[in-house]
Amino acid sequence: MERDNSKQTGWLDTAVAGIRFGPDRKAVRAELQAHLEDKAADFRRIFPDIAPEEAEARAVEEMGDAVEIGKELARLHKPWLGYLWRASKWIAILSVVLLMAINILNNDHYQSAGYPLWGGFSEVRGRTEGEKIQLGGYTFQIVGAAYLDYVQDWRGIEDRVQVYIRVSTPRFWERINEGALRSALTMTGPEGWVWSMDSGKVQTIWEEGRNELICGLQRAEWGLFHDTYVAYGDLEWTEGEPVCLEFDFGKGSFTLTVDQLERVVME
């Protein structure tokens, strides 16, 4: 019995020797062993008088040349795919655990380089879909325009225009530089009104102890592939008059115009 088992064992070892990836070798060996046992059982059923050792030996002979089978199995079972599968399993688990740990420890979600992957500071007013201009891999579009009309004698707050510009790019790792956008952008309005977004003008709301931006540029909202900025201008606007945003980058210049602004009465 020991000799025949060793014959079976020897045949199996030879047949799977070329399979270098451990789990595959183990699985194939188990399957071949099952085939050998089935064949031996068939022989014992067909020849009831046959000795068990002989049945197993004939089963081994029936399976064929172990060396040839081993070469074919080695050709079919590439080790690199197995190692890649195993490595990918552990790297995927590690990455997910690391992300979960960071989010739990930070007690915040979607944190990225100091601010969330998406969010907003203010709501976009006067939603619209303006013309799109592409430059340097970025798409510029006016997505909102509003005229904030404060009741004249109400706290002395200046009326102002808000124009929302969305800058999109599929390259989420290189969003537009806010400083460069400020330097490049100028708002123009009726009667020669001009303001360069490189600087800001604020109005102090004494009753509330805060400053409010009335000329300048601020981030309004953002997502993974876009940033939306709001450009403020303290110009007197009447219906039908266009407001223009002039962009002057090193790579080129263009102008976006908005004709219709939503009049928002601030009460």
Partner 1 sequence: MREKLRTRWEQSKWKARIDRLPRLWRLSRGKTLALNLLIIAVAGAWLWGLAGYPLPTAELEFRRLERQCLVPRSELVFAATAPERYEYVASPNDKTVTALDGTEISMNNWQFVGVTERLAVVAEVAQRGLGGYGTGLEHYVRDGTPLLLPLGGDQWSPLRGYWVTEEQKPGEVNYTYHGMTPLVLLDVPEEARRAEVSLELHTWEELLPYEAVCWDMGGGVWLVGAFREDEARPDRFAGGTYTLRLYDGAGALLLEREGAVPQPL
Task: Specify the residue, 82 or 200, whose C-beta has the smaller distance to partner 1.
Answer: 82
Taking the complex as a whole, the smallest distance from the CB of residue 39 to partner 1 amounts, in Å, to: 27
Taking the complex as a whole, the smallest distance from the CB of residue 203 to partner 1 amounts, in Å, to: 23
Taking the complex as a whole, the smallest distance from the CB of residue 229 to partner 1 amounts, in Å, to: 14
Task: Specify the residue, 49 or 174, whose C-beta has the smaller distance to partner 1.
Answer: 174
Query: Residue 49 burial (CB < 10 Å; 0-12/13-18/19+)?
Result: exposed
Q: Which of 16, 19, 8 is nearest to 61 (CA)?
A: 8
Task: Specify the residue, 27 or 157, whose C-beta has the smaller distance to partner 1.
Answer: 27
Taking the complex as a whole, the smallest distance from the CB of residue 108 to partner 1 amounts, in Å, to: 11
Question: Footprint of partner 1 on this chain (CB under 8 A)?
Answer: 81-82, 84-85, 88-89, 91-92, 95-96, 98-99, 102, 111-114, 117, 135-138, 172-177, 179-180, 183-184, 248-252
Would you state the structure tokens that stand for residue 247, as one six-digit string? 């962009």
Task: Specify the residue, 138 or 229, whose C-beta has the smaller distance to partner 1.
Answer: 138
Task: Specify the residue, 122 or 255, whose C-beta has the smaller distance to partner 1.
Answer: 255
Distance CA 184, CA 233 (A): 16
Taking the complex as a whole, the smallest distance from the CB of residue 38 to partner 1 amounts, in Å, to: 23
Q: E strands within the chain?
A: 111-112, 115-116, 119-120, 132-135, 138-150, 160-168, 185-188, 194-196, 201-205, 210-222, 226-233, 243-249, 252-258, 262-266
Distance CA 22, CA 162 (A): 66
